[in-house]
Amino acid sequence: MKKKDLSYSINWSKKSLNTRVIHVGGEPDQATGAIMPPIFQTSTYVQKSPGIHSGYEYTRTHNPTRTRLEECLASAENGKYATVTASGLSATMLIMHALPANSTILVGDDVYGGTYRIFNTIFNSLHKFIFVNTTDQKILKQELKKYQPALLWIETPTNPLLKITDLEFAITEAKKYNALVLVDNTFMSPYFQNPLKFGADIILHSMTKYINGHSDVVGGALIVNDQKIHKELFRLQNSIGPCASPFDSWLVLRGIKTLAVRMQRHQENAIKIANFLEKNKKVERVIYPGLESHPQHSVAKKQMSGFGGMITFFLRGGIKESRKFLESVQIFSLAESLGGVESLIEHPAIMTHASIPEKVRTKLGISNNLIRLSVGIEDCDDLISDLKNAFKNCQ
Ligand SMILES: *Cc1c(COP(=O)(O)O)cnc(C)c1O
């Protein structure tokens, strides 16, 4: 968009993320001065003369509201370009089409269930996927050398086991073979982790989660520094069509303004709850990157500026006890997804990860007594008393 009178004359890249998520892409409306930008709810744009327009022709290609969000997201990840898509998975789809056919892709073995499904049931006819434990440096090094993949796909922390991959190590190794590196940064959000800093080429977000933060939008984003990659993603987005709607883009622009305060509170609550669970006799084990008991706690401290709001724990017992527990909570809502202001609880083996074959789930450690919490920003004492009641109920 052209710079006009009400444009800011501030160099935002020098400002903190807390400030950037509020102001980048959030300039007042040029025409009216409205501090909240309007929603350009339009599919097409009138031209003065054939081919003479203000940079916008058709909303699948471009939309001013989406452009604003793309500016904001690029800035949030300290990147140059962002592409906003209709969902996280459609962002994944664009990446799959951006690679030459028959590419070899090395993928973390504990990725989001939908990522696993799209690779194994949709794009397995186009590319070759090798699943590997990216948190094991020896194995990762070996497999990179063996397969010399076109792309290394890392999700860190993973879902639901919150395994952490050392980004500096993984990216350095991948670069020895000129592999592109994509990091799915959905769980940490740009507030706690910025993988471009470690040399990642592409950041993927499901905006559905922390970026929007209000459980009212499904959306995705890809952030890159390389103009060539960005142009290719733009071409694919326009040619295939999974663009986010103007209204959804606007909602995310609204949601992301509070990213910093939300993430702070998510983490504050999660630390208290993780400690509470770790002391509870009915809990076998708690996984939270902020706990010293987490196997990669030191890697987490090194590459993240915080530990996020996701907690996984193993309840003593099996499917029966887990079911009872999940039915007993009242403030935590039993639902898939994560990253919203409200606390959610779920059972990966039955819910989010049901599309992963049981044998694979067991091998990964997604057992029937594993429960995942997306800790919201409610009052923490209320959340803890809700969990206490549920524990009482499953006696
Ligand atoms: C939800 C999620 C996705 C997929 O995003 P959608 O917006 O649901 O399509 C990808 N990766 C992670 C880590 C997720 O949590």
Q: What pLDDT, in 10s, does the model give residues 373-386?
A: 999 999 999 999 99
Angle, CA 12 vertex, CA 7 and CA 13 arms, to 5°: 145
Residues 21 and 83 in one domain: yes
Position 327 pLDDT exceeds 80: yes
Catalytic annotation present for 323: no
* Backbone φ, ψ for residue 205 (5° rounding): -130, 140
Is residue 206 lining ligand 1, measured as CB closer than 6 Å? yes
Domain final residue, candidates 256, 278, 298: 256
Residues 244 and 264 in one domain: no
What mean pLDDT, rounded, does the chain reach? 95
Amino acid at 71: E
291: left (phi over 0), alpha (psi -120 to 50) or beta: beta
Is residue 225 lining ligand 1, measured as CB closer than 6 Å? no
Residues 278 and 239 in one domain: no
**Cα distance between residue 321 and residue 139, in whole Å:** 36
CA of 339 relative to ligand 1 center, distance in Å: 11
Place of tokens 């326009």: 238
Concatenated DSSP letters of 208-252: TTTTT-SS----EEEEES-HHHHHHHHHHHHHH--BPPHHHHHHH
Give tens-digit pLDDT for 269-318: 999 999 999 999 999 999 999 999 999 999 999 999 999 999 999 999 98
Residues 69 and 210 in one domain: yes
Per the residue annotation, which of 184, 201, 210, 288 is the catalytic one?
A: 184
**Please, what's the largest Cα pairwise distance for the chain?**
74
The domain in which residue 242 lies consists of: 12-256
Cis peptide before 157 (omega within 30 of 0): yes
Do residues 210 and 178 lie in contact, with contact meaning Cβ atoms separated by under 8 Å? Answer: no
Residues 232 and 312 in one domain: no
Do residues 1 and 64 lie in contact, with contact meaning Cβ atoms separated by under 8 Å? Answer: yes
Per the residue annotation, which of 56, 109, 110, 112 is the catalytic one?
A: 112
- Note the pLDDT of residue 6: 61
Evaluate whether residue 115 is within a structural domain.
yes
Q: Which helix (H) or strand (E) holds 362?
A: helix 358-364
Do residues 222 and 91 lie in contact, with contact meaning Cβ atoms separated by under 8 Å? Answer: yes
CA of 61 relative to ligand 1 center, distance in Å: 23
Give tens-digit pLDDT for 248-269: 999 999 999 999 999 999 999 9
**Mutational test site, ligand 1, from 96, 164, 208, max ligand atoms within 8 Å of CB:** 208
Is residue 220 lining ligand 1, measured as CB closer than 6 Å? yes
Give the CATH number for residue 279.
3.90.1150.10
Residues 36 and 130 in one domain: yes
**Cα distance between residue 250 and residue 252, in whole Å:** 5
Evaluate whether residue 4 is within a structural domain.
no
Q: How many CA atoms lie within 13 A of 94 on its CB side?
A: 34
Give the CATH number for residue 94.
3.40.640.10
Do residues 209 and 339 lie in contact, with contact meaning Cβ atoms separated by under 8 Å? Answer: yes
Position 336 pLDDT exceeds 50: yes
Ligand 1, atom 8, lies closest to the CA of 88
Position 395 pLDDT exceeds 70: no
Position 1 pLDDT exceeds 60: no
Q: How many CA atoms lie within 13 A of 44 on its CB side?
A: 2
Residues 42 and 130 in one domain: yes
Domain count, the chain: 2
CA of 149 relative to ligand 1 center, distance in Å: 23
Positive or negative, the Cα torsion across 174, 176, 177, 180? positive
CA of 327 relative to ligand 1 center, distance in Å: 25
Catalytic annotation present for 265: no
Question: In the structure, what pLDDT confidence band is assigned to residue 110 with cuts at 50, 70 and 90?
Answer: confident
Is residue 85 lining ligand 1, measured as CB closer than 6 Å? no
Position 345 pLDDT exceeds 90: yes
Cis peptide before 190 (omega within 30 of 0): no
Per the residue annotation, which of 20, 68, 163, 209 is the catalytic one?
A: 209
Is residue 114 lining ligand 1, measured as CB closer than 6 Å? yes
Catalytic annotation present for 209: yes
Q: Which residues pair with 344 in a beta bridge?
A: 333, 374
Residues 118 and 267 in one domain: no
CA 307 to chain centre: 14
Classify 262 as helix, strand or coil: helix
CA of 206 relative to ligand 1 center, distance in Å: 5
Evaluate whether residue 7 is within a structural domain.
no
Ligand 1, atom 7, lies closest to the CA of 88
**Cα distance between residue 103 and residue 106, in whole Å:** 10
